[in-house]
Each structure stands twice: as structure tokens, then as C-alpha cells.
Amino acid sequence: MSFKELFSRSLGADPTRLHFAAHSHHLWPDASFDGQVECWNDAARLADRKWDTVMDEVWPEAQRHVAAELGTGMSDAVVFASNTHDFLIRLVASVPRADARRVKVLMSDGEFHSARRQFARWAEQGWLELETVAAEPFDTFTARFLAAAQGGGHDLILVSQILFGSGRRFDGVARLSQRSRPEGPWVVVDGYHAFMALPTPFKETAAQSAFYLGGGYKYAMSGEGCAFLHAPFGFGPRPPVTGWFAEFEDLSLPPGMVGYATDAMRFMGATFDPSALYRFNAVRRMLVENNLTTALISARVEQLQSLLLDAIAGTMLGAAELLNPIDGRPHARFLAFRSSNALGWYDQLKAMNCITDVRGDVLRIGFGLYHDDADVDRLAALLGKLT
């Protein structure tokens, strides 16, 4: 079965391209174009009054989609921003700390650039004390991270549910969330590579006490500008980094008072571009109309991954180390191959208009709904040409 017709605009824009970076920059489905147009038309039709539609209709619909996908049922705990970096800043500014001079953070050494770079820079500045847990060996990572968290002394604990470099999973979200307290420490799960890749990746129990980060750029197929935070109730009632939308529900406050919404809107910033929310909602509707759940899409992707692994025997890629083997459990939406030749392979494939993704010595190949068996055959043929 093929779903290429749902991506006719993106595929038609470059018919000779093979795009296997769905885990990095997912091609946009046609529904996202419809959402973008809907946003523009609302702005033209409603002008200043568009914000009533955005905040009363578009925003709540997007909240419901996120809560349903996470498995929390807690729409009011979801807030949006342009990127997850915005939320990292607000969280670190808000978290209670035992030492007023710096925040003590625990994270892995396999976190995405936003957290890795920002936390390292704050540590240089002396604003943050950073403890990292090595992601490798992968098979013991979950146990080692939980043990480090149990050791105590941290204000903020952050870990990716799926490590972006290797595609390996942290399987202790529910247990780690039990460490999270309003007075500290706070547990933050980076779920960008799990949201709409793993069915119901968070669930209600963990959602009671842990934060969750994700967004629309990858498996949600909605492009940039649609990051979200699940903020458990009772945590950080008055974030010090705050925009005027955080008191959007009560603009009648007397001058000089800094008010906050009581739900996740307390972590809100200021004026934003709502087009990403329109795109996200349109894509979610498209999936419902086509009876496509995350579980079904993931199963299809895993079939394609298995086909590729069977096809690369005898190629250069077949000799590389597969960091995230398919083991029958929920799997990342990409395959991560480690080799000193990774960058060279990426460049060779790019020269053949085949887009993959490289991170250091790891070549990542990601599948999506716009791939079928014939695409795997075409990719395997190109991989046979690598030197």
C-alpha cells in the first residue's frame, strides 16, 4: 500500500529526489498546505479578530491532539511555542533550586543540540552545574540513568525518550517521573523523537508529575514553529521568564500586577505565528480521515526498515554498526549506522539526490508515510554504489 498521494506537492516539487530524512525534516503532506492557506484566509477575513479564532478554536484543537497522542487526556496541560529551546529557558528559570547561585542538572551525553549546547554554555558561565550520564553502553543506559537520578541532589533532570543520535530508547519514563516534585527536582522528558513515533509515549501516570517536550517538525509532519510543552499542574505557578500571553485570560488586571493563567498557559510567551498550529491540526485531521494511527504508521515504517536491512548485505553500509537493531519492541523511526565513512556516504548519496542525515560518525536513514517498497529498492541500488 502506498500513501504517496497524501504528499503529492512535496514529492512533485522534486520528482527525482529520494528523501530518507523523515526523522530530521519530514516532507510536508498536502494537508499542511491546506492548513497554511486556512491560516492566511482567517487572517485576511478576520484581521484583528483572528486571535479569537486562534485562541478559542485552533489552539484548543491542537491541545486536544497532543494530549490524545501522548495518552494523558490533559489538554489544559499543553502549551505551544516556536521551538523547544524557548521552553528550556523558561523551565530552567522556573525550577526551584537548592543553591540560589546555580541550577544542578542531570542529563545524558546524548541529548539534542538545544539542551546540550545551552546547558554547556550555562555551565561555562557558572549558572549551572551539569552532571551527565553516558549513553553507552546502550543496554544499561536506562538503569544507569535511573540510578544517577535516585542519587539525588539535582534540581532538574532531563532525558530523551529516544536518543536522537543512536535511536536507542530510555525505557524508564514512568519510574523517573516518580522523582519529580513541585518543590524539586523537576523531571523533563524530551520526546521529540517519540511524539507520533511511539504510540501513547507518555500516559497519564507520568503526566501527573513530569514535563514533556515535543513538536511538529518531525513525525507530526507539520513543519517548524509547533513545539509544545506538557506542564504538570502545580509545578512552577509563576515562571519568571514570561510573555503577556501568559495572562491572556485576564487582561483586566490592574496596572503593575503580573498575573498568570492557572493552566499550562502560565508558561506562554508573547505574540506568535499561529500557522504551524493550523498545519498541525490539518495534518491530524488527514490522519483520522485515512484511518492512520501512530501504531499503524510505525508498523509500516518497521516493515520498510526490515526490507532495507535485508537489502544492504554486500554493500558498504551493510558492514557498518547498526546502533538500534530491530528487536520487536517499539522502535525509532530511523536506523542509525555508525562508521568512520558516514560523512562520505552522506555526501555521495546527496550528490545522487538522495537525502539522508549524518551526525558525527552516524548515518541516519528515516522512513515515513511517503515511502513504499519501491523506494527501498531504489535506495538499496544507490547504497550499492557507495565507496
pLDDT at 258: 87
- Reported pTM: 0.96
The answer on 110 and 12 residing in a single domain is no
Tens of pLDDT, residue by residue over 49-97, are 999 999 999 999 999 999 999 999 999 999 999 999 999 999 999 999 9
The answer on 227 and 114 residing in a single domain is yes
The answer on 122 and 89 residing in a single domain is yes
Distance of CA 308 to the CA centre of its chain: 25
The answer on 332 and 263 residing in a single domain is no
Domain carrying residue 242: 32-286
pLDDT at 136: 97
Cα separation, 293 vs 357, in Å, equals 26
The answer on 66 and 21 residing in a single domain is no
The answer on 274 and 335 residing in a single domain is no
Domain final residue pick, 270, 286, 302: 286
Domain final residue pick, 249, 265, 286: 286
The answer on 275 and 159 residing in a single domain is yes
pLDDT at 249: 58
The answer on 264 and 301 residing in a single domain is no
Burial class (CB in 10 A: 0-12, 13-18, 19+), 34: middle
Number of domains forming the structure of the chain? 2
The answer on 128 and 104 residing in a single domain is yes
The answer on 263 and 205 residing in a single domain is yes
Low pLDDT (below 70) residues in the chain: 248-254
Which three-class secondary structure string do you get for the chain? CCCHHHHHHHHHHCCCCEECECCCCCCCCHHHHHHHHHHHHHHHHHHHHHHHHHHHHHHHHHHHHHHHHHCCCCHHHEEEECCHHHHHHHHHHHCCCCCCCCEEEEEECCCCHHHHHHHHHHHHHCCEEEEEECCCCHHHHHHHHHHHHHCCCCCEEEEECECCCCCCECCCHHHHHCCCCCCCCEEEEECCCCECCECCCCHHHHHCCCEEEECCCCCCCCCCCCEEEECCCCCCCCCCCCCHHHHCCCCCCCCCCCCCCCCHHHHCCCCCCCHHHHHHHHHHHHHHHCCCCHHHHHHHHHHHHHHHHHHCCCCCHHHCEECCCCCCCCCCCEEEEECCCHHHHHHHHHHCCEECEEECCEEEEECCCCCCHHHHHHHHHHHCCCC
pLDDT at 244: 87
Domain final residue pick, 251, 268, 286: 286
The answer on 38 and 92 residing in a single domain is yes
pLDDT at 349: 98
The answer on 172 and 150 residing in a single domain is yes
Task: State the CATH number of the domain containing residue 106.
Answer: 3.40.640.10
Closest CA to 358 of 349, 346, 368, 369: 346
pLDDT at 252: 57
**Rounded to 5 degrees, what are φ and ψ at 90?**
-65, -35
Task: State the CATH number of the domain containing residue 16.
Answer: 3.90.1150.10
